[in-house]
């Protein structure tokens, strides 16, 4: 589990930082890296002070407890090892068979990468100060409640909620991580507006070598993300690991093949994007599906996300700079729904009980769709309100001249490349 923690952290830096920075223009390469790196620090501190408690605190009795956690773990109280004077023993808090401290670290890595994913939507034009305030509020108001609903015994958790029709399956973060970040990314792109020159000037990726290395690190780190979500080194973890790998492979194959057949040439960027799409799609289902359904999910993700990042984006004309919505919003939604199709009791070795996915004759599709709808609505409303408030208080976008100059110099006083 500690290795899985490290793997998930590696997904943000260097994985996501390289993946995103290679896709922007060279005058903005450091700004994207700085945003990813700074969020590794900021979100870690928020998580330790109160984020973990809001997400995984047991909550008060009744419906309020299903909406948000309580203050049980504020400032890491009740998380780390402590001395119990009455029994004269050192107590190690445990959850799901592992130390709660390990659980806190693992879930904290998710809290880091989820807002970092949104960075790609407003790359090259958002004030760094506005980004910091947005992520602080977004992590508190959006991520922590969603994590509590799905994993912390809240509104959407299967087998826990007092609203059983809402009990959804989300093995490693389809709703909590990918739908939340992808839908928020779309709201950010729409409210902040297009980059100067978007649609009239070429804005090709400045370094696809970075992007490929970043994609490889994301693929590598995703094994900790999904297999680690089993919270044990067992057959479920092995199944999630294999499903993750095959879905990524299928996504890369599908996206590159579509480009090859429709445009005459497969691209490295397309293959990398397809792999990430496959990884996103399988995330909610990784520990619930067999391997051939995982391959099919990866293929469908490559197809759906390709058209979301090309046809859909061009049709509506929004500037989601690095296709966060097209890959994470669409891929996460597709994965959550398909989990309701392919989930089976066999992977988790569930004896008896009701069938799960449609392939077993179950009705899991209903709560999956309801969870998606609830997540979409909640994320859109919260993200919109946060952005509107911050726009009034500090302004969201850098001045035109600073955007032309590039955020590396205007926001950080540094340059990614100095040619002598």
pLDDT band at 84 (very low <50, low <70, confident <90, very high): confident
Q: What is the pLDDT of residue 205?
A: 96
Residue 369 falls inside a structural domain = yes
Q: What is the pLDDT of residue 161?
A: 45
| Least-confidence region, from 74-88, 108-122, 214-228, 352-366 | 352-366
Q: What is the pLDDT of residues 278-321, one digit of tens each?
A: 999 999 999 999 999 999 999 999 999 999 999 999 999 999 99
Residue 164 falls inside a structural domain = yes
pLDDT band at 353 (very low <50, low <70, confident <90, very high): low
Q: What is the pLDDT of residue 167?
A: 80
d(CA 228, CA 187): 31
Q: What is the pLDDT of residues 25-65, one digit of tens each?
A: 999 999 999 999 999 999 999 999 999 999 999 877 766 77
pLDDT band at 159 (very low <50, low <70, confident <90, very high): low
Q: What is the pLDDT of residue 17?
A: 98
Q: What is the pLDDT of residue 166?
A: 64
Q: What is the pLDDT of residue 281?
A: 98
403, pLDDT greater than 90: yes
Q: What is the pLDDT of residues 333-345, one digit of tens each?
A: 999 999 999 999 8
Whole-model pTM? Answer: 0.94
For the chain, the domain total comes to 1
Instruction: Report the CATH number that the domain containing residue 365 is assigned in CATH.
Output: 1.10.3430.10
Higher pLDDT, 368 or 66: 368
Judged by DSSP in three states, 89 sits in strand
E strand or H helix that includes residue 153: none
- The first and second tokens of residue 194, run together, are 């297009």
| Least-confidence region, from 100-104, 198-202, 218-222, 258-262 | 198-202
Beta-carbon contacts of residue 368 (< 8 Å; ≥ 6 apart): 168, 169, 336, 337, 339, 340
Q: What is the pLDDT of residue 162?
A: 44
Query: Of how many residues is the chain composed?
Result: 420
Give the residues across from 201 on adjacent strands. Answer: 198
Q: What is the mean pLDDT of the chain?
A: 93
350, pLDDT greater than 60: no
Q: What is the pLDDT of residues 316-330, one digit of tens each?
A: 999 999 999 999 999
d(CA 379, CA 385): 10
Q: Above pLDDT 70, what percent of the chain? A: 96
Are residues 385 and 3 in contact, defined by beta-carbon separation less than 8 angstroms?
A: no
Residue 418 falls inside a structural domain = no
E strand or H helix that includes residue 150: helix 144-151
Q: What is the pLDDT of residue 82?
A: 86
419, pLDDT greater than 80: no
Cα 273 off chain centre by: 15
Residue 419 falls inside a structural domain = no
* Closest by Cα among 112, 87, 92 to 102: 92
- The first and second tokens of residue 179, run together, are 């739908």
d(CA 233, CA 227): 8
Residue 420 falls inside a structural domain = no
d(CA 14, CA 56): 28
Q: What is the pLDDT of residue 349?
A: 64
Residue 187's domain comprises: 2-80+87-412
pLDDT band at 411 (very low <50, low <70, confident <90, very high): very high
Q: What is the pLDDT of residue 160?
A: 46
Q: What is the pLDDT of residue 280?
A: 98
Q: What is the pLDDT of residues 192-201, one digit of tens each?
A: 999 999 989 9
Residue 417 falls inside a structural domain = no
What angle (nearest 5°) sits at the alpha carbon of residue 24, between those of residues 23 and 27? 145
414, pLDDT greater than 90: yes
Higher pLDDT, 64 or 131: 131
E strand or H helix that includes residue 340: helix 330-342
Higher pLDDT, 354 or 299: 299
* Closest by Cα among 241, 228, 235 to 347: 235
pLDDT band at 155 (very low <50, low <70, confident <90, very high): confident
């Amino acid at each position: 589990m500690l290795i899985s923690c490290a793997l998930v952290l590696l997904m943000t830096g260097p994985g996501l930082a390289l993946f995103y920075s290679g896709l922007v223009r060279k005058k903005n390469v450091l700004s994207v890296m700085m945003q990813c790196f700074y969020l590794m620090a900021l979100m870690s501190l928020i998580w330790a002070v109160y984020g973990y408690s809001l997400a995984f605190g047991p909550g008060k009795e009744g419906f309020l407890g299903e909406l948000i956690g309580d203050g049980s773990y504020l400032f890491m109280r009740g998380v780390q090892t402590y001395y119990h004077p009455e029994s004269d023993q050192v107590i190690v808090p445990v959850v799901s068979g592992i130390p709660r401290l390990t659980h806190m670290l693992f879930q904290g890595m998710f809290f880091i990468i989820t807002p970092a994913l949104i960075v790609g939507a407003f790359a090259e034009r958002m004030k760094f100060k506005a980004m910091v305030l947005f992520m602080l509020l977004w992590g508190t108001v959006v991520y922590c409640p969603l994590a509590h609903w799905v994993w912390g015994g809240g509104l959407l958790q299967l087998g826990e909620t007092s609203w059983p029709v809402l009990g959804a399956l989300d093995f490693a973060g389809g709703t909590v991580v990918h739908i939340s970040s992808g839908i928020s990314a779309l709201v950010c792109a729409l409210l902040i507006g297009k980059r100067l020159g978007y649609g009239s000037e070429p804005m090709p990726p400045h370094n696809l070598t970075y992007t490929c290395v970043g994609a490889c690190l994301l693929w590598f780190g995703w094994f900790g993300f999904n297999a680690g979500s089993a919270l044990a080194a067992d057959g479920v973890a092995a199944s999630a690991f294999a499903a993750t790998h095959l879905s990524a492979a299928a996504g890369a194959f599908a996206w590159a093949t579509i480009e090859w057949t429709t445009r005459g040439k497969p691209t490295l960027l397309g293959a990398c994007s397809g792999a990430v799409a496959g990884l996103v799609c399988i995330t909610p289902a990784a520990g619930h599906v067999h391997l051939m359904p995982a391959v099919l999910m990866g293929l469908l993700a490559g197809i759906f996300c390709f058209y979301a990042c090309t046809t859909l984006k061009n049709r509506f004309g929004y500037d989601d700079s690095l296709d966060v919505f097209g890959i994470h919003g669409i891929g996460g939604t597709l994965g959550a729904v398909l989990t309701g199709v392919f989930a089976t009791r066999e992977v988790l070795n569930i004896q008896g009980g009701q069938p799960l996915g449609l392939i077993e004759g179950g009705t899991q599709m209903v709560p999956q769709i309801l969870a998606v709808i609830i997540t979409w609505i909640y994320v859109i409303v919260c993200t919109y309100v946060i952005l509107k408030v911050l726009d009034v208080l500090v302004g969201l976008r850098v001045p035109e001249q600073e955007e032309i100059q590039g955020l590396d110099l205007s926001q950080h006083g540094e340059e990614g490349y100095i040619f002598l």
